Structure 1
Amino acid sequence: MPQFVPLSEIDDAAVEHLLDRAFGTDRHARTAYKVREGTAPIAALSLALVEDGALLGTIQCWPVALAGDDGRAWPLVMVGPVAIDPPRQQHGLGHLLMEKMLAAAAAIGASERLMLVGDPEYYGRFFGFTADRTGQWRLPGPVERHRLLARGADIPDRPGLLGPRFC
């Protein structure tokens, strides 16, 4: 039976190996990495799924902010990557990680300011993420606009640059 553990309890090299397997070794060039550059994952929202000592999946969340063109900063939580070991994909493990993270986000008062870059059909259908309020956001690299998703009442619908937030 898979168990959730804090990501901080997992060896960094094992996490990196899983991420490489799930997303490729070129993943560091993606815009999402630039958005959260220089920050550390939010411990309360970053989890691992393990079974019999094997790492099956991880979810990480990051402190980011939208620096509004009006001078206001909007603190947000960037969800992802959500990584599942390739042989175990398509078995609902990513869904379990997302559900556990969403419950943890609610517990710490962060559930109204979540954003991610991901598949709108999946994250919209199962978790309520949409691109409705992200159309004016700028990122430090390319992004497919329909994949820039957010959920929660505290998501700003205004122009600004998305980047790291240093707590």
Structure 2
Amino acid sequence: MVELLPLSNIEPQAVEALLDAAFGTDRFGRTAYRIREGVDAVPSLSFAAFVDGVLIGTIQCWPVAHRAADGTATPLVMVGPVAVRPEVQRGGYGRMLMTHMLNAAETGADGALMMIGDPEYYGRFFGFDADATGEWELPGPFEKRRLLARAVNGHDLPAGAGMIGPR
């Protein structure tokens, strides 16, 4: 049986060890880390999955913003990383964490959702797409087709050009 808990209840070292196992210790150089630099994860949208008392997965969400050239800032929530222990990947745990987070976001997100991810997977199962993100920029390299977004909780996606970064 899977137990989902708020990530804020979990020892940070255990989360970091899971992220190292899932993504490697060189993950800190990725563009996603630059986007959310200096901010804390959103507690109400970040969760951990346990099976038989063992941490097997996490999802984190971050307060970021789309900043247009005119200075207008639109709040967004960056989804990810979604991490699952390598030995139990493909067991549906990542999908379970995403579903749980999306349910929480329907009432608790203070902005639309965005992420860097596989459009075939996150589009098919969770409704994310790149339709609104074509003119968005990130503080590092990324593939345009992998910059995804989804409206949620009455929050529309910002239109047009803008830089995504921490709030």
Tell me the TM-score range normalised by the shorter chain: over 0.9
Q: Which residue of 2 aligns with 1:143?
A: 142
Q: Which residue of 2 aligns with 1:158?
A: 160
2:18–2:83 contact (8 Å) kept in structure 1:
yes
Write the letter of the residue equivalent to 1:54: V
RMSD: 1.0
Structure 2 CA distance for aligned equivalents of residues 130 and 157 of structure 1? 14
**TM-score, normalization by structure 2:** 0.95
Q: Offset of 1:116 from its aligned partner? A: 0.2
Give a deviation string over 1:32-69, Cα, whole Å, max 9, x none.
Answer: 00000000000000000012210010000000001111
After the TM superposition, list the runs of 4 or more consecutive aligned residues in structure 1 that deviate by more than 4 angstroms.
none
Q: Which residue of 2 aligns with 1:124?
A: 123
Structure 1 CA distance for aligned equivalents of residues 136 and 4 of structure 2? 33
Structure 2 CA distance for aligned equivalents of residues 69 and 105 of structure 1? 28
> Which ranges of structure 1 fall in alignment gaps of 5 or more residues?
none
2:64–2:78 contact (8 Å) kept in structure 1:
yes
Q: Which residue of 1 aligns with 2:15?
A: 15
SS in 1 for 2:106: helix
Q: Which residue of 2 aligns with 1:90?
A: 90
Structure 1 CA distance for aligned equivalents of residues 49 and 94 of structure 2? 9
2:77–2:109 contact (8 Å) kept in structure 1:
no
Equivalences, count:
164
Give a deviation string over 1:78-115, Cα, whole Å, max 9, x none.
Answer: 000000000110011100000000000112144x6000
Structure 1 CA distance for aligned equivalents of residues 46 and 119 of structure 2? 22
Structure 1 CA distance for aligned equivalents of residues 137 and 89 of structure 2? 31
Structure 1 CA distance for aligned equivalents of residues 109 and 45 of structure 2? 11
> Which ranges of structure 2 fall in alignment gaps of 5 or more residues?
none
Q: Which residue of 1 aligns with 2:79?
A: 79
SS in 1 for 2:39: coil
Identity percentage of aligned residues: 59
Structure 2 CA distance for aligned equivalents of residues 43 and 154 of structure 1? 22
Give a deviation string over 1:107-148, Cα, whole Å, max 9, x none.
Answer: 2144x6000000000000000100111111111100011000
